[in-house]
Structure 1
Amino acid sequence: MSQGETDQRPLATRITSAVTDLAKPAENELARWRRTFERFATEDVDGKKYLSPGQFIDAIAPTEEGFSKIRREQYSVLFRVADSARRGLIGFEEFVVFETLLKRPDADYQLAFQVFDVDASGTIDFDEFKAVLSSNTAASGIPFDFDCDWMKLYLGKRGGQHVLGYHEFTQLIKGYQGERLRQAFHWFDKDADGYINPDEFQRIIVEIAGHKLSDSVLERLPTLCTMNPGKRISYSEVIAFHNIIREMDAVETLIRRAVRKSKDGRIDVSDFLNEAANSMRYGMFTPMEANIIWHFASRGGVGSSTRLALADFQALLDAKWQPPQQTFQAEKKVSGTFLQEFANSVYNFVQGGIAGGIGAYVVYPIDLVKTRLQNQRSTVVGEVLYRNAADCVRKVYANEGGIRAFYRGVVPQLVGVAPEKAIKLAINDLVRKKATDPETGRIALGWEIAAGGAAGGCQVIVTNPLEITKIRLQMAGEITRAEGGHAVPRGAVHIIRQLGLVGLYKGVTACLCRDVPFSMIYFTTYAHLKKDVFNEGRRGKHLSFGELLLAAGIAGMPAAYLTTPADVVKTRLQSQARAGETVYKGVLDGLRKIAQEEGPKALYKGGLARVIRSSPQFAATLSVYELLHKHFPYPFGPQAQTAARPVLSTQTDISRVRARNALRILLDCSSRFGMVGTESAAKNVALLPKVLRSS
């Protein structure tokens, strides 16, 4: 049987064939269909379960559609296709046949064909096509002449022998919308002067493309008349607007490309047309079409020379777009007071501390090895204690008490890491938010670097006391062993008392020299990896856990290695010097003496260990932080309201996409398609957007 033919075999034969066609690798798919059927089917007839129309819609409709532009009732059109026995219920066998059909690459057009093929003959004649369309377009009040020359090109004259096969039908249904538009304009243009009124234009577009445009654009359709004197709309403008709708995917692609190339994140009509000329081989957008795009993107208030941001185009590009004021008001109601904002900040602070603690604990043994290697002086009398990182791990484990030795000083690290990470993240976010253009979402590279530097500088308030205490504890085991095991290791409290407040900030300059450039490099690299490499935000994309982990890990590598010299000097300044070791007066003195006495390579001691430690630490910290935000959001914020709503699937089965696309093909004939013949047509019309009801 060819792809275009309709299967006319008995139902039992079709079922057997469908099941047989499922190869062994697809047996799990049959089991999945069984689970789906059993989940929704409750109608019990003669001991067998069946799907009612409502249950069938629940089983096959894509949940993330939200029924905002395609009404739930309209999916009943597909129920009539699946209900081959015409009993008003669908058994498992029929459900398998329908699901098998959805697996076909042209399932959307196959379903549309079967809707028009009322007698299941495998062909569509003139009367069938007219009957189905008439019943679904009558409510619009805009007639369609089925005896026109355009119809004769496809079906010949009425009463003739020409019928449409599947492939011919696909071309007819694709071209129908253009003929519907032409006839509708001609019907409204009573005096044949080539103009119609704004409300008449609105009625036409709502009828043939209401499902493709947001309510905001639908309500502003009459404003198209303001583009030219006369306050009426020409056929050229109607066709231009229809071309925009038909090529909306290309429009969005060109706008996004042009915005990415723009220095300020804004584009004008000339930028759009230039991008179209560079990107499209044959298709082109006319100046009128581009001006219409700008008219609706700018709410009709500016000219084509005005530069617009990507956010300005969303109402036109996204059929489910809602005014941002609604979201803002909802957030304002929940988080409008200072106490509520403070509580939210504290909640985020705690989550940042938990995430930072987990990240620090995971890599702490690596940090201990890094500290030992950096503090090792090759000029000290006697042989070098550790040849490399592996030798350090072996000797610490063998001589200092096993695994526990690798976690000396971990407690102050965990205590201090919460405020450190909270300060770093908060300051970086604060500066970035203040420096970001609210319309374009762009931030200058200089401000990105400044935000990271400010975050690194502020964190030193907590980091320096934490680091010096940690280093003294990490070196305690080595000092005890060097002194023959007679010295008793001291804890964090003893070290803090010994150093005093001023001593806790010893080496603070070196700490600043390390943390400021580290944060400059890290946060800037992390932001650009997410945006430019993993395409966060493009087409509403949210990064997966793995992508966040990878971006955070990669960003930590150059930041950690390039700041190693400052970290080496800081470690030497903050550690307790032993007899015979060089004493450093400051950062510059330390850099000079280390380079002279041990060679430039000594400035990068422990550099690999820093990369191995910092990269996974920041990856773990930020990833855990993202997970905490996702699974444990602030319980009293705006997200708490949305959390109560059903969680919608982020990945739609391709078969569900094809079921939805079949309806879109039919909705191109009429936005009301499938809403006739129900128990209450008035009720269904009442569910439509206000502008659609009024028309």
Structure 2
Amino acid sequence: MDFWPEFLASSSGREFVAGGFGGIAGIISGYPLDTLRIRLQDTKNGSAFAIFRHMVFREGPTSLYRGMGAPLASVTFQNAMVFQTYAVLSRAFDTPVSPKDPASYKGVALGGTGTGALQSLLLSPVELIKIQLQLLKEGHMTESTKGPMKLAKKIWRKEGLRGIYRGLGVTVLRDGPSHGLYFWTYEYMREWLHPGCRKNGEESLNTMLVAGGLAGVTSWISCYPFDVVKTRLQAQTPSSLKYKGIVDCFKKSVKEEGYSVLWRGLGTAITRAFLVNGVIFSAYEVTLRLLFNNGSIQMKETL
């Protein structure tokens, strides 16, 4: 009974809870655009609008949210761990002079890189399930693919741990460096938009939204080719294995469809990234300050 009061009394506990709220807000706000991104990456033809129209009018509006259960069920814990791990690592790599001082930009970049690599262990199986559900067409669903848990059990029975963790290597390559750039961009931009806010924490909600959105866009552009390869590797099933690994997938995709395939769906991805990451950082910062200030929060009204 005393766990939650004690947990929230600690800095780590507050960062964990705030990260969870940020993750939930991000998933709900950006999932339809994520579904469009996945379908664009796995197809040779079609625009985002054409795929959107087909899904809404042929498969029904709920098809845009197919597979959301897997990331939503795990996102609270995953995002909470990401922000908590980042808070620890960013200070561990470059300890501030005072505990009240923010981590240096070097610590932010290194802490973000380590956080991204570590989170891949949790994220890779979740994204594999999500991608396979997002790519299911109406009428192709079976009893074993109706929901993330049933699909996970099916993959486990047929392929074991290797199947569940298909795409782990490329997920690490995608998330490590991009998370370093992600957190660095956020911290740099919020300080640029509102000098002194990293120390006094008094920036506006607009600053959080813009800095978070730009951080998301920058990180996605930096890692997008890896994400395309990851989607194609994780979309495979035992009966449709086309790629032997990361390099083979890259070579075959480029040979068959040209280098433009590595950027297919980027417009949808960065639109979603700006929206989702602006929401994530805003929800995280606001929740964190509410917890640290016992329900009160101070923010500037303008950018």
* TM-score in same-fold range (> 0.5): yes
In the alignment, the residues of structure 1 paired with residue 298 and residue 8 of structure 2 have an alpha-carbon distance, to the nearest angstrom, of 31
Question: Equivalents in 2 of 1:620, 1:409: separation in Å?
Answer: 21
Residue 285 of structure 2 corresponds to which residue in structure 1? 626
State the shift of 1:568 in Å: 0.6
Q: Which residue of structure 2 aligns with residue 430 of structure 1?
A: 88
- Deviations for 1:451-501, whole angstroms, at most 9, x for unmatched residues? 11101011112111110111111112x2x54xxx58555221221112223
* Contact 2:202–2:300 (CA under 8 A) maintained in structure 1: no
Asked if 1:356 is matched to 2:37, the reply is no
Q: Tell me what 2:62 maps to.
A: 404
Alpha-carbon contact 2:102-2:198 (below 8 Å) kept: no
The 2-side partners of 1:551 and 1:506 are apart by 33
The reply on whether 1:495 has 2:151 as its aligned counterpart is yes
Shift of 1:521: 1.1
Unaligned residue ranges in structure 1 (runs of 5+): 1-338, 379-383, 652-695
- Counterparts of 2:8 and 2:198, CA distance in 1: 32
Q: RCO (CA 8 Å, sep 6+): is it higher in 1 or 2? A: 2
Q: In the TM superposition, what whole-angstrom CA distance separates every residue of 1:15-53 from its partner, at most 9, and x where no partner exists? A: xxxxxxxxxxxxxxxxxxxxxxxxxxxxxxxxxxxxxxx
State whether structure 2 residue 171 is matched by structure 1 residue 511.
yes
What is the Cα deviation at residue 347 of structure 1? 4.6
Residues 540 and 359 (structure 1 numbering): CA distance in 2 closer, same or farther, change over 3 Å? closer
- CA change 1:568–1:461 in 2 (3 A) is same
Residue 236 (structure 2) pairs with residue 570 (structure 1): no
Residues 91 and 107 in structure 2, CA contact (< 8 A), matched pair in contact too = no
Cα offset for 1:592?
1.6
Task: Return the offset for 1:436.
Answer: 3.3
Match of residue 450 from structure 1: 110
Give the secondary-structure state (helix, strand or coil) at the position aligned to 2:135. Answer: helix
Q: Which residue of 1 is the match for residue 252 of structure 2?
A: 593
Equivalent pair of 1:370/1:609 in contact (CA under 8 Å): yes
| Contact kept? 1:560, 1:615, Cα under 8 Å | no
Show the counterpart of 1:417.
75
> What displacement does 1:447 show?
3.3
The answer to whether structure 1 residue 524 and structure 2 residue 190 are counterparts is no
Paired residues for 1:272-311 under 5 Å: none
2:3 aligned with 1:340: no
Gaps of 5+ in 2: none
Cα distance change of structure 1 residues 533 and 583 upon mapping to structure 2, 3 Å threshold: same
1:535 aligns with 195
Greater fraction helix: 2
Give distance in 2, aligned partners of 1:412 and 1:539: 37
1:351 deviates by 3.2
Q: Which residue of 2 aligns with 1:368?
A: 35
8 Å CA contact 1:424, 1:455 repeated in 2: yes
Residue pair 1:564, 1:606 contacting (<8 A) in 2 also: no
Which secondary structure state, in structure 2, belongs to the residue aligned with residue 563 of structure 1?
A: helix
| Deviation of 1:392 (Å) | 0.5
Structure 1 residue 561 displacement after superposition: 1.7
Q: Give the Cα separation in 2 of the matches to 1:340 and 1:596.
A: 57
> 1: CA distance between counterparts of 2:260 and 2:180?
24
- Tell me the CA shift for residue 446 of structure 1: 4.0
Quote the offset at 1:361 in angstroms: 1.0
Q: 1:626 to 1:449 in 2, by over 3 A?
A: closer
Q: For residues 623 and 394 of structure 1, do their structure 2 counterparts lie closer, same or farther at Cα, with a shift above 3 Å needed?
A: same
| Cα displacement (A) at 1:541 | 6.7
Provide the residue aligned with 2:268 in structure 1: 609
Report % sequence identity. 27
Contact 1:432/1:447 (<8 A) preserved: yes
* 8 Å CA contact retained: 2:40, 2:48: yes
For 2:149, the aligned partner's letter is V
Q: 1:626 to 1:537 in 2, by over 3 A?
A: closer
Give the superposed CA RMSD.
Answer: 2.8
The superposition leaves residues 493-540 of structure 1 with CA deviations (integer Å, 9 ceiling, x where unpaired) of 221112223322110001111111220111011111112332133895
Contact 1:432 1:451 in 2 (8 A): yes
Cα distance change on mapping 1:426 and 1:630 into 2, 3 Å: closer
- Counterparts in 2 of 1:340 and 1:566: CA distance versus 1, 3 Å: same
With over 3 angstroms needed to count, the CA separation of the structure-2 counterparts of 1:533 and 1:475, relative to structure 1, is: same
- Alignment partner for residue 465 of structure 1, among 125, 138, 151? 125
Tell me the distance in 2 between the aligned counterparts of 1:649 and 1:525: 21
Distance in 2 between residues matched to 1:568 and 1:648, nearest whole Å: 41
- Give the 3 Å change call, closer, same or farther, for CA 486–563 of structure 1 in structure 2: closer
Contact 1:530–1:536 at 8 Å: present in 2 too?
Answer: no
Q: Alignment partner for residue 212 of structure 2, among 552, 563, 569?
A: 552
Counterpart of 1:105 in structure 2 is none
Q: 1:389 aligns with which of 48, 69, 82?
A: 48
Deviation readout 1:396-454 (Å, 9 max, x if unpaired) = 11111x22111111111111111221121112111222313314947555433211110
Gap change, CA 1:341 and 1:433, over 3 Å in 2:
farther
From the superposition, tell whether residues 375 and 524 of structure 1 become closer, same or farther in structure 2 (CA, over 3 Å): same
**Aligned-partner Cα distance in 2 for 1:457–1:410:** 23
Could you say which structure has the larger radius of gyration?
1
- The answer to whether the Cα contact below 8 Å between 1:436 and 1:442 also exists between their aligned partners in 2 is no
8 Å contact kept, 1:535–1:541: no
What do residues 83-118 of structure 1 show as CA deviations (whole Å, max 9, x unaligned)? xxxxxxxxxxxxxxxxxxxxxxxxxxxxxxxxxxxx
Task: Give the Cα–Cα distance (whole angstroms) in 2 for the partners of residues 649 and 397 of structure 1.
Answer: 40
Structure 1 residues 243-273: Cα deviation after superposition (integer angstroms, max 9, x where no partner):
xxxxxxxxxxxxxxxxxxxxxxxxxxxxxxx
Aligned residue-pair number = 289
Contact 2:204–2:300 at 8 Å: present in 1 too?
no
Q: CA deviation at 1:586?
A: 1.3
Measure the CA separation in 2 of the matches of 1:467 and 1:541.
34
The residue type paired with residue 118 of structure 2 is C
Question: Does the 8 A contact of 2:203 with 2:299 survive in 1?
Answer: no
Flag the 1:528–1:568 CA change in 2: closer, same or farther, 3 A: same
Contact 1:460 1:515 in 2 (8 A): yes
| 1:178-219 residue CA offsets vs partner (Å, 9 max, x unmatched) | xxxxxxxxxxxxxxxxxxxxxxxxxxxxxxxxxxxxxxxxxx
Equivalents in 2 of 1:363, 1:571: separation in Å?
Answer: 18
CA distance in 2, matches of 1:623, 1:649: 12
Q: CA contact under 8 A between 2:170 and 2:226: conserved in structure 1?
A: yes
Question: Is the contact between residue 117 and residue 176 of structure 2 (CA under 8 Å) also seen in structure 1?
Answer: yes
